[in-house]
Structure 1
Amino acid sequence: MTRGSIVSLGIANPVFRPNADEEGVYDNDGFVDQNFSEKVDVGLEKPGDTEKTVDGADSAPAPPTELKASLNLGHAVSLAVGQTIGSGIFVSPNDVVKQVGSIGMSLVIWLISGTLSMCGALTFCELGTMFKRSGGEYQYIKAAYGKLAAFLYLWVCGVIRNGMGCAAIALTFAHYFMDLFMDEKDPGFTVAKKSAATAAIVIIIAVNIWSTKIGLWMQNIFTALKLGALSVLVIMGIYFLAAGKTENISKNWFEGTDIDFAKWTNAFFASLWAYSGWNCINMMSGEIKNPTKTVPRALVLTNIIMISIYLIANIAYHTILPLSTLRNERAIAVKVGKVVLGEGTWGRVGEVFFGVSVAISTFGALSSSLMGSSRLPFIAAQEDMFPKFVALIQVKNGTPIVGLLTMGTLATFWVWPIDIGGLIKYVGFLSWAWWGMCFAAVPLLRFTMRGFPRTFRVFLPVTGFAIIASLYLTIGQFVASPVPCLGWLAVVAVGVPIYYGFVDPDNTCRTWMAWLLSKLSKLLKAEL
């Protein structure tokens, strides 16, 4: 059967061969451009190779089965804002204030975190416009460090971290949703919460399998609703300021600041959890129209929007609630509704409004996360780094059906044995360890691929700041919690024999084992 027949069945090609456009194409085998005749060979099958048909004649390679590039700038920004604004802005301010101890320092943490996200996004602009295929970090790590490193990223992040992250968001949604009907102390609350989280995952996966467009429309609706809820929060803060109720912010903003850098690490992780999502655009760059221009614009616009929204929302929180309440109250948005509208019926209305708002916000974030995360196993499977069936595309609807089902199954798996706190505890640690490798890939690739045309070049000090920050976050967490971090290193190590035993096309593991067998046989004078 020829490759053309495989495509006609809707099965992804084993080697990616994108179609060239006016800007040139990098296909992980090399780069082809009208003004760049040299091929950068990294050892895979060449795009110009021909194949033999059944009768032995040469045939030109057929185009691959690819997801349609249907996302414009508005879609990309909506997707990123929708994934970024989840439960974080409604619960993370509590963790940040608890760790740093003052209004002013908490706002500084939010500003630095937003700046770090912006630097990461600008760094990813260069990588995203170089490697325009979906897959994000997976593609960058493979180009910079090789297939083994890319597989380990897939193993740790694609299988474990992304599934845990989606499960944490689903459980946050379910917690606030079920809190509208049950008391958290009720004996059946935990089971009901986990069941609701599972149902949310199933619904979102089903919608995205049916149609990517419907999934985007659903995403746009939830993005509008969550921005509406944040707008109400900001309006309440403005109302308090206009009414002269400034006693909560009239004192020295930096009074009581806790100068403990270990605690600051935890504060950064809390705020960065709220900012997480800035990289999802790169995960789907292969589905974005004119990615060379659209990806940088979308990333920059998203981060400007997020920094502005989060700073204004935090000022509103501090205006309405005293510092002691922010330290001790987990669901601070719900508390805001009660404080502004008072006790009794109206207070309950305020609690319900923000409870529903958080549920809507996290449901929308879950939709974005599942959509973006599903592309990683899909792309890896196309490149023989994951079981091939994961690369199947549903012919009628043009959606990555098995990739979506894979991520939905993984997220559902993590929902049941672990609760929210356990899930999110090290998601940030894993994320920033690998993101640090991606940031370092920019100067590395400028050296190893100097002749590669770049339509966007990030200012290297920006990348340097992102690298230093990721090292601080990773090493700081390792020092604070060495045993669990060593456990994650062990998980990474497990991926090495899996790669060499099942993925490595050169059977390196078999070669090593044969060499070892020969040497031991001679040394020990033994035979099989």
Structure 2
Amino acid sequence: MIEEKAQEFKKSLGLLDAVMLVSGSMIGSGIFIVSADIARNTGSAGWMMLVWIICGFMTLTAALSYGELSAMFPKAGGQYVYLREAYNPLVSFVFGWTFFAVIQTATIAAVGVAFAKFTGYLFPVLDEDVYLFTWNTFHISSAQMLSIGVIILLTFINTRGVKSGKLIQTTLTLVKILSLLLLVLFGFLAFRHEIWNLNWTAENVWKLQYLNKDGSFTDYSTLGALGAFSAAMVGALFSSDSWHSSSAVAGEIKNPQRNIGLSLALGVIIVTLIYLMTNLMYTSVLSMEQMVNAEKDRIAMSAAQEIFGSFGITIIAVMIMISTFGCNNGIILSGARVYYSMAQDGLFFKKVGKLNQNSVPSNALWIQCLIASLWCLSGKYGDLLDMITCVVVIFYVLAVAGVIRLRITKPGIERPYKAFGYPFLPVLYILMGLAFILLMVAFKPNYTWPGIIIALLGVPIYYFIKPTKGNISDETN
């Protein structure tokens, strides 16, 4: 009996915990950086804000659709389970493989290194330019080792039980939401009329063009403008990713049929509003030229210097440290549940599908830690995340389309919650997602084909390892 209880998830997460998991997993370092590149590709405050508005709308629309899926299948694994139930084990495995190989593990690495980089501002010995080991062109820096140390620490904490992870997540997410709101407030208190007027009353405020570092503009052709806008969307979508984190820990959420969908909607709304306010604040203290010239695209630091003076760098460094630490905790906690579900289906190492004495998938947590640490050492996580953004949207489109497919193929399944705005909003998301994917394939192939190839590698791997009988859910098509 004791062993049986140890193999069951403990429902320890309430609605607040689930909302903080969603919000905290979304807010990492992106909001402090990517707006510089968005400003560069759009060339105007109006178009920059439109990118964030469209991204927020798409994310919320997808979250509302996921609410129906989460109510139908309140199981650990989230998106992996939804794709399996809506389509077949091959589709869900390709997602799970890509999620494990790059999407989640490279994100953990990127967020971990971001934490270390900004820690280096306060403690120079931990800077990314301080090399501990060099061999030809390969280097291992203090920042990389610190990022690995943080990933190991958070993994260990999460192996102690979901309550340990949720305490860090809820506390740090509340702190960083408050910190961002205070940054926005002080930013608007430092409102500069001449900057605002320059950004919002100029004749090109709604003209899409490339903004060079010298302040000059380069006009796009019609097709070039579409490609530039889709490239600008990459940063915003990356900053809003991991919004589905609460669905992955469905087995540990109280009243999951209600609280998962609600947490997805509330978490996305909170973060979207904060992102919009933050970017609006940027336009009140920085000219577009200052944005594109921010050192290493760290636009928040440039804004903080305008608001707080030289002390602003320290303030933003501490904010990003808190933000990335909490973000990594959330994605480490949720990611392991996907591999656990894959192992339960016989599509991953058998031991990964076991829970430890604290009722968490510790083996899944540690193997995720290993791959993320290797990405930290490689230094290639940033390139891979750019390459994988298109594939991430492909899986979101498939999952949202799965809502429609399941309405047709499995009308008898109980649906405690039905997607808001069905079928209009799901169809609109699918169309917007497909438009983004096609534009990226056409105009930014370096952002698309590598990720698509990584995902497609999952097909032969699936046929090589799939069980000949049993394990994979009998509920699949």
Checking the alignment, whether the CA contact within 8 Å between 2:339 and 2:352 is kept in structure 1 is yes
SS at match of 1:366: helix
Deviation at 1:488, TM superposition (A): 3.6
Q: Using the alignment, how far apart are the partners of 2:128 and 2:454 within structure 1?
A: 35
Instruction: Give me the CA root mean square deviation.
Output: 2.2
1:275 equivalenced with 2:225 (yes/no): no
Cα distance change of structure 1 residues 483 and 299 upon mapping to structure 2, 3 Å threshold = closer
1:15-94 to structure 2, matched below 5 A, reads 65-94=7-36
1:299-310 to structure 2, matched below 5 A, reads 299-310=264-275
1:188 to 128, 131, 135: 131
Q: Using the alignment, how far apart are the partners of 1:443 and 1:176 within structure 2?
A: 44
Checking the alignment, whether the CA contact within 8 Å between 1:248 and 1:319 is kept in structure 2 is no
Q: Using the alignment, how far apart are the partners of 2:443 and 2:147 within structure 1?
A: 31
Higher helix share: 2
1:148 equivalenced with 2:96 (yes/no): no
Deviation at 1:123, TM superposition (A): 0.8
Deviations 1:390-439 (A, max 9, x none): 022111x2221111111111111111112453132123222111111111
Q: Using the alignment, how far apart are the partners of 1:297 and 1:402 within structure 2?
A: 30
What corresponds to 1:438 in structure 2? 399
In our comparison, the structure showing a higher alpha carbon Rg is: 1
What corresponds to 1:456 in structure 2? 417
What corresponds to 1:353 in structure 2? 315
Deviation at 1:297, TM superposition (A): 1.6
Cα distance change of structure 1 residues 484 and 239 upon mapping to structure 2, 3 Å threshold = closer
1:398 equivalenced with 2:359 (yes/no): yes
Cα distance change of structure 1 residues 118 and 491 upon mapping to structure 2, 3 Å threshold = same
1:239 to 183, 186, 189: 189
Bigger CA drift: 291-300 or 365-374?
A: 291-300
Task: Provide the aligned length of Structure 1 versus Structure 2.
Answer: 443
Letter in 2 for 1:479: A
What corresponds to 1:524 in structure 2? none
1:227 equivalenced with 2:190 (yes/no): no
Checking the alignment, whether the CA contact within 8 Å between 1:71 and 1:289 is kept in structure 2 is yes
What corresponds to 2:4 in structure 1? 7
2:257 to 287, 292, 317: 292
Q: Using the alignment, how far apart are the partners of 1:238 and 1:484 within structure 2?
A: 36
Deviating 4+ runs (over 6 angstroms): 242-245
Cα distance change of structure 1 residues 386 and 446 upon mapping to structure 2, 3 Å threshold = same
Q: Using the alignment, how far apart are the partners of 1:431 and 1:365 within structure 2?
A: 18
SS at match of 2:141: helix
Please, which runs of 5 or more residues in structure 2 have no aligned partner?
A: 133-139, 210-219, 471-477
Q: Using the alignment, how far apart are the partners of 2:65 and 2:373 within structure 1?
A: 32
Q: Using the alignment, how far apart are the partners of 1:303 and 1:235 within structure 2?
A: 21
What corresponds to 1:24 in structure 2? none
Checking the alignment, whether the CA contact within 8 Å between 1:375 and 1:403 is kept in structure 2 is yes
Cα distance change of structure 1 residues 453 and 318 upon mapping to structure 2, 3 Å threshold = same
1:470 equivalenced with 2:433 (yes/no): yes
Deviation at 1:66, TM superposition (A): 2.3
What corresponds to 2:374 in structure 1? 413
What corresponds to 2:408 in structure 1? 447
Checking the alignment, whether the CA contact within 8 Å between 2:386 and 2:447 is kept in structure 1 is no
With the length of structure 1 as denominator, give the TM-score of the two structures: 0.79
Q: Using the alignment, how far apart are the partners of 1:384 and 1:5 within structure 2?
A: 24
Q: Using the alignment, how far apart are the partners of 2:97 and 2:435 within structure 1?
A: 24
Letter in 2 for 1:417: S
Q: Using the alignment, how far apart are the partners of 1:177 and 1:487 within structure 2?
A: 32
Deviation at 1:126, TM superposition (A): 0.8
What corresponds to 2:339 in structure 1? 377
SS at match of 1:462: helix
Letter in 2 for 1:93: S
What corresponds to 1:218 in structure 2? 168
Bigger CA drift: 324-333 or 495-504?
A: 495-504
SS at match of 1:289: coil
Letter in 1 for 2:71: T
1:368 equivalenced with 2:335 (yes/no): no
Checking the alignment, whether the CA contact within 8 Å between 1:77 and 1:299 is kept in structure 2 is yes
1:168-187 to structure 2, matched below 5 A, reads 168-182=110-124, 186-187=129-130
Q: Using the alignment, how far apart are the partners of 1:250 and 1:147 within structure 2?
A: 50
2:290 to 325, 329, 339: 325
Cα distance change of structure 1 residues 187 and 504 upon mapping to structure 2, 3 Å threshold = same
Greater relative contact order, per chain length (Cα 8 Å cut-off, separation 6+): 2
What corresponds to 2:302 in structure 1? 335
What corresponds to 1:26 in structure 2? none
Q: Using the alignment, how far apart are the partners of 2:165 and 2:2 within structure 1?
A: 30
Calculate percent identity across the aligned residue pairs.
26
Q: Using the alignment, how far apart are the partners of 2:59 and 2:188 within structure 1?
A: 27
Q: Using the alignment, how far apart are the partners of 1:483 and 1:246 within structure 2?
A: 36
Q: Using the alignment, how far apart are the partners of 1:340 and 1:447 within structure 2?
A: 55
With the length of structure 2 as denominator, give the TM-score of the two structures: 0.87
Q: Using the alignment, how far apart are the partners of 1:185 and 1:502 within structure 2?
A: 39
Deviations 1:317-355 (A, max 9, x none): 11111111111211111122222233xxxx1x2211111
